[in-house]
Structure 1
Amino acid sequence: MSVAKSLSGWSFRPLHGALALIMVPLFLAGCSTTKEKPSVPTGEGGYYKVGKPYQIAGVWYYPKEDERYDATGIGSWYGPQFHGKRTANGEFFDQEQLTAAHPTLPMPVLVRVTNLENGRSVVVRVNDRGPFVNGREIDLSRKAAELLGYDRQGTARVRVQFVGRAPLPGIPGTSTTQIAGQDSFTAPKPVMDESEKRSINVAKTTSVVATTLAPPPGVKTAPANAVASLPAPTTPSTMRPVEDAGLQPPEPDGTVEQVPVPPRTSIFVQAGSFRNFTNAESVRQKMLSQGVQNVQVSPTMVDGVKYYRVRVGPLSDVSTADASMKTLTQNGHAGARIVVE
């Protein structure tokens, strides 16, 4: 077991499980629901935060606001070893509350997480950074993983959808209203200081290959051969918006929806996504020369624009994908990620 490390006040921890950013056309109209005892964090001691770009194990992450965030990947969970410790935005982690860690989303926000293996779907509060095992999409609290049915197996193929900003009761700028006889909170925008704004502007100018521009103060320069972990556009026109209705986002109250999911999904390791086919083919040829097998260039349309994805797979399971990720990373493809579709 590795030891938790700290960087810029964030908690970095060992994880159970995986993934990245590619979409599948799912239909999230709830068919049935069950409800557990509500377990909602108060937000006491926390604050709204976007965060600066950061680097872990050679991979760059670029936190940003993204109200259209809708991605699939491998979900993991964490629990007892971090119970009672501070999260990345200053709250206290409680493994019995419905919370999560995410590499790039602001904190705190609400997201809907759907287990693509059994159709169970819950809303959770993102208030921490992580996971930092290559290929993992989100790290849920023990309770949230239990509700989704993968606490025992450790990982699952999941879909993560942005729902809305989460409340911070008692924080200035957070207003309380009554909707359907219950308190609801309107949250202010997460805070970004000037250095963070400059960091995001730098991130926007980068391609899939790491930028050669001078980074803002305090941000490490990526190696020349590193691939930036900028999320490639991944909102296919076939994706439907979150089906949660109402004026306010639903609170993570333990409601488990049973939703339709594909009968089968496939796992790939994606080395990059390019608008130029020649660039994609060049990466594929390099991977083949490095002994990587089953490499494909796969076209996809995102918001009316064609992209060419360089991917290994389909792969049989998460363990095989992890091994492939390790190989690609060792060969210089630092931005590779596991994707599900």
Structure 2
Amino acid sequence: MIHRWAWLTAAISLTFLGGCAETQFVVSSAKRISGSTEATKTNDKTPGHYKIGDPYTINGAWYYPKVDYGYRETGIASWYGPQFHGKQTANGEIFDMNSLSAAHRTLPLPSVVRVTNLNNGRTLKVRINDRGPFARGRIIDMSRRGAQLLGFKRAGTTTVRVEILDLESRQIAAAYSQNVKPINSYKPPPAAAPRVAVTSKSLAAPPGASAAPPPTNNHKVIAVEKVPERDLRNPYVLPALNDTVKVLPVVYKPRLYVQVGAFSQYDNANKMRARLSLIGPANIYQVRDFNRPFFRVRLGPLNDASEAEDMLEGIIDAGIKDARIVVE
């Protein structure tokens, strides 16, 4: 199918027409925001820290990290491993490709999500502790172990549904928020006040009052369970998630499309559809947004994630920068 892209670029000159209402899927071939730091030992259990982060840009595309406990998205998953094994993640942990973890572009670090492979029904919980992926059309980057458990290590990519786990993610944020005492912030208690010599004298009870009984030592002693104190100077260490994989029934196979754009004018959408028909079946889908009609132009359905990424690459190279992959 790759030969079609040369034909596409030479046969048609695609320009983005006015009226597009949807933003592009942010793309980049880079995996990292900046260079990773090599760790001295790949088995170091560096706890890392809680991080949301400021907006950042990769190759001209902006990303806006935020707390989103209602997050749910369907798209393409990939995996990463040897090139980053033993290096620091975006929140300061040490990446271990043989452990279960994942990277996401905007969710808080760490967060817990459920990832379901829509092609085989395998589903698991995974902790997000890194930023990425920045390749075109992808929404999550699994560690190598995660790809093995979800059954797509050999294929390299697959279609997935990613859902944040509200309770677990809130618990993580709360646990880190309790650990707010910075290192070396301890202050010694103030010195005791100087003692002054004091004399005492017993006085007789006033008329009509009885003297108080003398104090006794007959106090009842109650055993109290000792609660271990947590040293707030040490970072919070998260309990590891296990590698439990559940298999759900595959109700339907996901359908993949490359969406070229959404147009407010049908004529513009139809012109784009006619040009795209040179390389594959292109269709127009009418939707309503804010009570206004829009016309989406899509290629597909496509066979798998690999074919969708190849088509997206060719269309973007032909000049349509707002093209993106859609999974339904």
Settle same-fold status: TM greater than 0.5: yes
Q: 1:285 to 1:135 in 2, by over 3 A?
A: same
8 Å CA contact retained: 2:273, 2:283 = no
* Alignment counterpart, residue 118 of structure 1, candidates 120, 125, 128: 120
Gaps of 5+ in 2: 1-28, 37-43, 181-238
Q: Distance in 2 between matches of 1:251 and 1:305?
A: 48
CA offsets 1:127-186 (integer angstroms, 9 cap, x no match): 1111121111211011111111111221111111111327379844359xxxxxxxxxxx
| 2:250 is the alignment partner of 1:261 | yes
Q: Distance in 2 between matches of 1:253 and 1:320?
A: 33
Q: Secondary structure at the match of 1:255?
A: coil
Q: Distance in 1 between matches of 2:164 and 2:51?
A: 16
Gaps of 5+ in 1: 12-40, 176-249
Q: Secondary structure at the match of 1:335?
A: coil
CA offsets 1:193-227 (integer angstroms, 9 cap, x no match): xxxxxxxxxxxxxxxxxxxxxxxxxxxxxxxxxxx
Q: Which residue of 1 aligns with 2:172?
A: 167
* Alignment counterpart, residue 334 of structure 1, candidates 308, 316, 321: 321
| 2:129 is the alignment partner of 1:140 | no
CA RMSD of aligned residues (A): 3.4
8 Å CA contact retained: 1:120, 1:256 = yes
Q: 1:284 to 1:325 in 2, by over 3 A?
A: farther
Normalised by the length of structure 2, the TM-score is: 0.60
Q: Secondary structure at the match of 1:322?
A: helix
8 Å CA contact retained: 2:31, 2:133 = no
* Aligned positions of 1:1-341 closer than 5 A: 7=33, 9=34, 44-56=47-59, 58-164=60-166, 165=169, 167=172, 171-173=176-178, 252-272=241-261, 274=262, 278-279=264-265, 282-283=268-269, 285-286=271-272, 288-289=274-275, 293-299=280-286, 308-341=295-328
Q: Distance in 1 between matches of 2:260 and 2:241?
A: 34
Q: Distance in 2 between matches of 1:311 and 1:10?
A: 36
Give how far 1:98 is off: 1.6
Q: 1:292 to 1:254 in 2, by over 3 A?
A: same
Q: Which has the larger radius of gyration?
A: 2
Q: Distance in 2 between matches of 1:10 and 1:158?
A: 28
Normalised by the length of structure 1, the TM-score is: 0.58
Q: Distance in 1 between matches of 2:48 and 2:258?
A: 39
